[in-house]
Copies of this chain bind each other. A is one copy, B any other.
């Protein structure tokens, strides 16, 4: 398929229309089960119909458009992303994957192409979890990994997820009906902005996601001894903050020595927190991520060993406990290969990068094989009104998605015919 078949103006127009479904003036604020999310869902439903899809909304509020394949009984190939945003986020995060998904189908239809497998575009309802702190809600519902207890989560106003869904017109108790049977799904491919700076540094518009990093989230505590900032000589202090500062730098050093690992101290609280009192206690969070679970565990062990050593030397106590842990989720080689072949056919190098952030693909991996295409975002900025992606990068990303989907939805892909990018196959039909 020629890149020129992609109607990037239509994509950008739709991104802007979705961005208008927002609370407040700064950036995009579209929390789940709100008037803003309903507005966005309605738009998406309309565009899906316009693109020739049958549209339904599942019990969680995921909007699903289906473009039937030539073999009606075959499992569906899924593409998509999420419609919700963080508070004062950007307009591309999530929305770009939904809109390019629709664009892929609309282009296929405009070109008069019908794949072997049914193609579904999914607009997931609650990936960010900005309202209820329950991430990947829609995709977990579809993958069948949601618990009844998840619906007790509460927003800042004390409204539970279950209540919010009922007010919105959904029935939380029916969430099991959103679960897809594994045999009915042939794979999930998601296009998303990178939300990081790697593609920009490497001067690449698109990247192939190797997998979604596993993460350990820990809470740590450094205990020393509070004292008067004026009366205790430096050599008699047991300053918890000075110890914590050394530990923070150890976190940075350990992660810096392991190429596949990133580690972050994002929160740090100092007690009693008075300008004239030597800190007696510090509490903080440690976030360690890697695509390699073993490397992640090694990093965490080294950090803790360093922290204990530092604390012992300073006569402090160090304690750390892991409060959340997720294993790395590799993307399926078959999907990686499909995207790679498309990019090679465009004469582009196919940079494989890890996803340090979670995405709906992470939840969908419990149901089916997943893959992700990342699009470069300016300065690596995301979750911010300044989030930006260039039209050329969007055009290329949409074309890659389209051609990869074609490869993956042709049953004859294995014999090399259906798998050929349409660009090569010379398909030029228009409706």
Query: What is the interface of chain A, defined by CB distance below 8 A to chain B?
Result: 194-198, 201, 213, 215, 217, 227-236, 239, 241-242, 244-246, 248-249, 252, 255-256, 261-268, 270, 273-279, 285, 287, 289, 355-358, 380, 382-383
Closest 8 CB pairs of A and B: A230-B356, A196-B231, A275-B285, A245-B245, A229-B264, A245-B248, A231-B356, A266-B275
Query: Is the pair B266, A278 in contact by a Cβ cutoff of 8 Å?
Result: yes
Q: Could you say which of A230, A274, A277 has the most chain B C-beta atoms within 10 Å of its C-beta?
A: A230
The answer to whether B262 and A266 have CB atoms under 8 Å apart is no
17 contacts between A and B (CB under 8 A): A196-B233, A197-B227, A198-B231, A215-B230, A217-B275, A229-B356, A231-B355, A231-B356, A232-B356, A236-B380, A239-B252, A242-B248, A266-B273, A266-B277, A266-B278, A268-B270, A268-B279
What is the bound-complex CA distance between A273 and B239, given in angstroms?
A: 22
Tell me how far the C-beta of A82 lies from the nearest C-beta in chain B, rounded to whole angstroms.
Answer: 16
Is there an interface contact between A380 and B234, defined as CB atoms closer than 8 Å? Answer: no
Contact present for A262 and B232 (CB under 8 Å)? yes
State whether B229 touches A289 (Cβ < 8 A).
yes
Q: How far is the CA of A227 from the CA of B229 in the complex (A)?
A: 34
Does A234 contact B246, Cβ atoms closer than 8 Å? no
> Do A197 and B236 touch (CB < 8 A)?
yes
Cβ contact within 8 Å between B248 and A264? no
Inside 8 A of A275's CB, which chain B residues have their CB?
217, 264, 266-267, 285, 287
Shortest distance in angstroms between A9's beta carbon and chain B's nearest beta carbon? Answer: 29
Q: Which residues of B contact A234 (CB under 8 A)?
A: 252, 255-256, 261-263
A245–B252 CA distance with the chains assembled, in angstroms: 11
Residues of B within 8 A of A265 (CB): 241-242, 279
Tell me the nearest residue of chain B to A358, going by C-beta: B230
Q: A241 with B268: in contact, given A252-B234, A275-B287 (CB under 8 Å)?
A: yes
How many copies of this chain does the complex contain? 2
Known: A234-B255, A234-B256. Contact between A229 and B266, CB under 8 A? yes
Question: A195–B278 Cα gap in the complex (Å)?
Answer: 13
Inter-chain CA distance A357–B278, complex, in Å, is 13
Cβ–Cβ contact A266 & B270, under 8 A:
yes
**Among candidates B241, B246, B262, B383, residue contacting A233 with C-beta atoms closer than 8 Å:** B262
Do B231 and A195 touch (CB < 8 A)? yes
Complex CA gap A401/B197 in Å reads 69
Q: How far is the CB of A236 from chain B (nearest CB, A)?
A: 5
State whether A270 and B273 are in contact (beta carbons under 8 Å apart), knowing that A256-B234, A357-B228 are contacts in the complex.
Answer: no
Docked Cα-Cα span, A380 to B285, in Å, equals 31
Task: Name A196's contact: one of B232, B274, B355 (CB within 8 Å).
Answer: B232
Residue of B nearest to A273 (CB): B267
The minimal Cβ–Cβ distance linking A376 to chain B, given in whole angstroms, is 12
Report the minimum CB–CB distance from A314 to chain B (whole Å). 10
Asked whether, in the complex, the Cβ of B268 is within 8 Å of the Cβ of A228, the reply is no
Please give me the residue from chain B that is nearest to A231 by CB atom. B196
Taking CB atoms, residues of chain B closer than 8 Å to A356 are: 228-232
Q: Are B287 and A266 in contact, CB atoms less than 8 angstroms apart? A: no
Residues from chain B with Cβ under 8 Å of A239 in the complex = 252, 264
A405 to B156, CA, bound (A): 64
CB-based nearest B residue for A250 = B245
A230 CB to closest chain B CB, in angstroms? 3
* Cα(A276)–Cα(B358), bound, Å: 11
Most buried by B among A275, A277, A278, A380: A275
A232 touches B380 (CB 8 A): yes
A358 proximity list for chain B (CB < 8 A): 230
Given contacts A196-B231, A234-B262, 12 further A-B pairs with CB under 8 A are A196-B228, A198-B231, A198-B236, A213-B230, A217-B276, A228-B357, A229-B262, A231-B380, A234-B263, A245-B248, A245-B249, A246-B249
